A and B are shown apart, each in its own frame.
Chain A
Amino acid sequence: MPMDSYRIAIIGAGPAGMSAAARAARLDAETGAASPTHILLEGFSLPAKTIQRYQKGKHVMAEPGFLDLRSDIEFEAGSREHILDKWQSGLQANGVNIRFGAEVTRISGSKGNFVVELSSGESLGAEFVVLSIGLEGNPRKLGVEGQDLPNVQYQLDDPKEYDSERIIVVGAGDAAIENALALAEQNEVWILNRRDEFSRAKEGNLNAILAAISDPNQKLHCYYSTSVKSVVPGAQGSTAMVATLDTPEGEVALECERIIARLGAIPPRRFVESCGIEFPNEKRDAKPELSRYYESNVPGLYVIGSLAGYPLIKQAMNQGYDVVEFIGGNFIQPADHPLLEYQFNGLPYEREVDDLIERFQSLIPMFRELNSLAFRELVIESNVIVSFPDGPEYAEANKKAESLAARLSQMAKPPRMTRVIREGDVIYEPGEFGTSFYTIVDGEVTLERESDGVTHTTTLSRGEFFGEMSLLSGRPRLERAIAGASCIVVESPRRTMVKLMNSNDTVREGIEWIFVVRELQNQFAPNASVADLRDISGRVQIHNYKAGETIFTEGERGDSLHVIRSGGVALSRNIDGEDILVAQVRGGKRIGEMALMGDPTRRETARASVAVETIEVSRAEFIELVRDDRDQIRKLQDAVSQQVTDNARMAVRPESGSVMDFLMDEGLGEATNVLIINEALCVGCDNCEKACAETHGGISRLDRDAGPTYANVHIPTSCRHCEQPHCMKDCPPNAIRRAETGEVYINADCIGCGNCEQNCPYDVIQMKYDAPPKPGLLRWLLFGAGNGPGEDQGASPTEAAAKKGKKATKCDACVDQKAGPACVNACPTGAAMRIGPSQYIDLVEERRR
């Protein structure tokens, strides 16, 4: 039987495949081909199987917003039905040659001469093959006991099928969120997120789920940092199952009728490999290696869409269009091209964007781990910083940048562009709060770290990165980063990095490894090089403790110390049967050193006050770290002397410990800048609140009278500027920022969604209308006009304010007030003070004689 033969066979009619077929059909029409030279093969009976299986009426997003669509088929954000309609008519209008029910079982042959075998036994010939089969292979399972019980399912066709059930939805991706929201309409739903934030979700879903979780009227609950430990059938005759959950607060048994796990899918890797396509590693989320034209290692065999690692519809459709153009020998620029052009505008290269992307990826080991589109996205969301020697070179580059900036400022939302700096300029200073992460693409960056008056300098070069400590721990920068000669640095925002680390183990492991190395360097061996520490860093242990867990216990023998990587640890001593808190130790500090300095018995019990990560260093590694550095040993010993004195002092004054306990119970362990009122001095005049309102548009961000008091220490309701601010977790417009000096503030981009108000555990954020204007001070003072200084509680918003809506307001620690915090400055009796954690000990200790 003679075999049907085509120029291009496209396998899989998803968004990528449809778009590719439509382009091929359009080209057929343009060339006036007598019969189609393309075929679109689809195993299912309809196009876009994955989207067909979405819930009815589901809203489909068109992310990423900054990317334009390039396809012969229409696509815009809308309901599932609307989008499927558009696609159906797009296939018809373009005259796509599509064959349904054609499941491909094997692809053999080579470029120009492929044979595509179908499950029906039929075979087709093709010169080129485009694989766009997506990831709908096998859904990932729970991987615990009970994962195959009848009511544990990995897909949800119609949420309306279930009514008045108790359902656990496992997962934090878009599918899990959408299922949970739809099910919650007529069921009681718990959504389990393995992590502590929904960082993988699209913005729209993120807002919806957070709003639903915080809405007391919705029967939707969320467990963060929680996984399923086991599922067992309920008692005989009951339809329920019992799921045991591993939560940060310990195990929780939850009875439910149904578990829906949406944990993503495993790529149909075996089939892809049978076609001769190679994968870079054995990791389950590995993607095939592709050229920039989406061609695999098998010439003529192309891979696009989510299988290639591009999970978004718009990206996939753009690739479908592009791949057919590429096959036709027309090497057009991808749609995100201009955005990259702006980012690379200031670089001293006369190279094409694609070349640069390829070059960057080939030069930087970490970037190599990403597929090229993920890397393109990373670049688009990052700042590209380039330095030039001061002089004509810098002047010229700066001029070029300014002219581009002028051109871009015409756009509604100007895209990012290269940041041009001088050689020797400081990228960041020690003490600055920054959470971005820097990768050196070219040139050198010098890191200077001062300790005890000695400056330790490290020079980093191409492929190395820095800033990981603040990214991972939320602590301020410890070192000064200085741009070297002609360096190129990619500064990636925390949001992007968290997404990347969650989806790419190699990147996460790489960043965590350097974090450990630098922490060891910083704590024990400032003169050692990264190479020296490579070996030791593999031998220390990383531990995670939940709040309340014990790290070590008083009286036991210890043979290691812990460096606290993030969180806070309470040290307590048992005195006459009572636990007395003697110290609260924060990220970046060590505990248990005495065990390695002559006293193997632990003198304190160390307990995690919040979730804690530590690096445990045992005797052998410790000795190796400090062996050759007499100076360093002395410094470590001095630090221990200080700590044991402080601990002893606290232990003999239990009342100080009880004040410290109070501070920790009130969450000050994670604060960086907190308002403390001394009740023995406060006369209750509320001038602090008035000052706050008067310097912040008429709305006070502080409630003096509210908040707890203990032994003259009053903690009013006011922002504490947490180390890792809860409010910043889920701000859709990214309007909550941290100033370099640490103040967490909300900028004008706030959309009033209220996520931050819900996420703040200390109730310091309020949603408020803009306050109406008031008469001036003298008019009030002399003529009694208006209500005087301070917030006018009874004021009603102006029409403009009402139209603008309520916006989030919180303390910004007077980041733009020259004289510092207005509340402190305006206190007539000196009762108000803003302090940082290093002053807690002074606060509770009575040092005055």
Chain B
Amino acid sequence: MIHTGILRYAKARFLWWAVGLTAFSVLLYSTQGGLQPANGGTWQGYVLGTIGALLIVWLSMLGIRKRSYSSNAGSVPGWTSAHVYLGTALLAVATLHSAGQLGWNVHSLSYVLMFVVIISGFYGIYTYVNYPQAITENRSGSSRAALFAELFELDRRGRELAAKGPDDINIVVRSAIERTAIGGGVYAQLLGTDRSLFVRPSGSGDSAAGKPVSNRDQQPVIDLIAGRLPRTSKVAETELLEELLEIFCRRQAVLRRIARDIRLRGRIRFWLLLHIPLTVALIFALIVHIVTTFIYW
């Protein structure tokens, strides 16, 4: 492929910018000492603080640049690449600015917020690097819509077959299809929990008979059908159960793919739900930090 990802953008030019910035900050920090210990209040501290604040403003401008579609100001991949590397360098700049003086105050709040934002960004990079490929492989050339289309077709065939079979099997199959859970809340999407249910036939002797029970990963219903198979004497019913078993195994495979697709696509997006609101909080905390610094000089 001739495409270049953001980490390699322009031969990782911004990585070297970030290295340079970090080196400069360390150098500046090391010139402190003497009468005043290393601190945010020395002139070096002020320089580092100013660089940090400007960086934060610029980093958050990516949200605007990304949506300024007619803009000539560099390309979005370039901006993103710079965002990643310079954002990482911010960690050094801000840490050196603080000189390790953390406490239970509004100044440290800014620092902690910034830290969390950057860490969430790291996670974002991890997902951006690893998940697209995983999503594509999981779908193996087809689309999510195609997976759902296949699922609905399997459901239709399953219902049709089950209607021809004995009542208890019909109930099992219909309930398993109707109570199949896909996705769910944020938690379910990210962790891929499965709340699928099905109704066990009454007369199966166990206590859960007639009540919906967990059908996690569709395995219980597969077990049930498979268990029933060798215990059936009628040829027609055996054939029906065999076909149903095949359908449910295929359903399991399709559902796993759908669940994985939802999970991966959820994770590739979810970190932004932390990254962005925390950035907004950071900007407010930063304003308070700067204002209070000057008020209580």
Question: CB within 8 Å of B: which residues of A?
Answer: 676, 678-684, 687, 690-691, 694-695, 705, 708-710, 712-713, 777, 781, 789, 817-819, 822, 824-831, 833, 835, 839, 842-843, 846
Contacts and interface: CB of A to CB of B under 8 A. Distances in A.
Given A679-B132, A679-B136, A710-B141, A829 B63 contact: no
A695 B4 CA distance: 24
B69 A684 contact: no
A843 B67 contact: no
A690 B71 CA distance: 14
B136 A819 contact: no
A807 B128 CA distance: 38
B1 A830 contact: no
A583 to B, nearest CB: 18
A269 to B, nearest CB: 62
A789 B69 contact: yes
Given A828-B6, A843-B2, A680 B133 contact: yes
A786 to B, nearest CB: 13
Contact of B69 (A682, A694, A781, A818): A694
Given A679-B132, A819-B75, A826 B69 contact: yes
22 contacts: A679-B133, A679-B135, A680-B133, A681-B3, A683-B132, A683-B268, A687-B76, A691-B69, A694-B69, A710-B141, A712-B136, A781-B63, A781-B67, A818-B72, A819-B71, A825-B75, A827-B77, A830-B77, A831-B132, A833-B2, A835-B2, A843-B2
A829 B135 CA distance: 16
A660 B130 CA distance: 25
Nearest to A825: B75
A789 B67 contact: yes
B115 interface: no
B101 interface: no
A126 B267 CA distance: 96
B35 interface: no
Contacts of A777: 64, 67-68
A261 B71 CA distance: 58
Nearest to A708: B141
Lowest 3 CB-CB distances: which A-B pairs, in order? A678-B3, A830-B77, A679-B136
A825 B77 CA distance: 7
A681 B135 CA distance: 11
B171 to A, nearest CB: 38
B5 interface: yes
Contacts of A713: 1
Contacts of B76: 687, 825-828
Contacts of B77: 827-830
Contacts of B157: none
Interface string B184-209: 00000000000000000000000000
Interface residues of B, number: 32
Nearest to A710: B141
Contacts of A817: 70
Contact of B265 (A684, A828, A835, A846): A684
B292 interface: no
B288 to A, nearest CB: 20
Interface of B: 1-6, 9, 63-64, 66-72, 75-77, 79-80, 127-128, 131-133, 135-136, 141, 143, 265, 268
Nearest to B83: A828
A676 B3 CA distance: 9
Contacts of A678: 1, 3
A687 B66 contact: yes
Given A678-B3, A828-B6, A830-B5, A683 B131 contact: yes
A832 to B, nearest CB: 8
A830 B9 contact: yes
Contacts of A682: 132
Contacts of B63: 781
A682 B71 CA distance: 22
A695 B80 contact: no
B271 to A, nearest CB: 11
A139 to B, nearest CB: 54
A817 B136 CA distance: 32
A824 B75 CA distance: 9
Interface centre among A705, A789, A830, A835 (most CB of B within 10 A): A830
A691 B133 CA distance: 24
Nearest to B8: A830
Contacts of B67: 690, 694, 777, 781, 789
A712 B1 contact: yes
A683 B136 CA distance: 10
B3 A833 contact: yes
A845 B67 CA distance: 33
A831 B3 contact: yes
B123 to A, nearest CB: 13
Contacts of A680: 1, 132-133, 136
A705 B145 CA distance: 10
Given A683-B268, A829-B80, A830-B9, A839 B2 contact: yes
Contacts of B4: 830
Contacts of B9: 830
Given A680-B1, A681-B5, A833-B3, A822 B70 contact: yes
Nearest to A705: B143
B70 A694 contact: yes
A716 B1 CA distance: 16
Nearest to B142: A709
Nearest to B70: A695
A778 to B, nearest CB: 8
A833 to B, nearest CB: 6
Given A682-B132, A713-B1, A843-B1, A829 B71 contact: no
Contacts of A683: 127-128, 131-132, 268
Nearest to A682: B132
A783 to B, nearest CB: 14
Contacts of B80: 828-829
B281 to A, nearest CB: 16
Nearest to B143: A705
Contacts of B79: 828
Contacts of B128: 683, 829
A846 B4 CA distance: 13
A679 B136 CA distance: 6
B10 to A, nearest CB: 10
A695 B69 contact: yes
Contacts of B2: 833, 835, 839, 842-843
A683 B129 CA distance: 9
A694 B67 CA distance: 9
Nearest to B136: A679
A819 B72 contact: yes
Given A712-B1, A833-B2, A839-B2, 19 more contacts: A678-B1, A679-B135, A680-B1, A680-B132, A681-B3, A681-B5, A683-B127, A683-B131, A683-B268, A687-B76, A695-B70, A705-B143, A789-B69, A825-B69, A826-B66, A826-B69, A828-B77, A829-B77, A829-B80
B6 A712 contact: no
Contacts of A831: 3, 132
A713 B3 CA distance: 10
Given A681-B5, A827-B77, A830-B77, A709 B136 contact: yes
A690 B5 CA distance: 20
A846 B68 CA distance: 34
Contacts of A819: 70-72, 75
Nearest to A833: B3
A319 B210 CA distance: 94
A717 to B, nearest CB: 12
A676 B1 CA distance: 10
Contacts of B268: 683-684
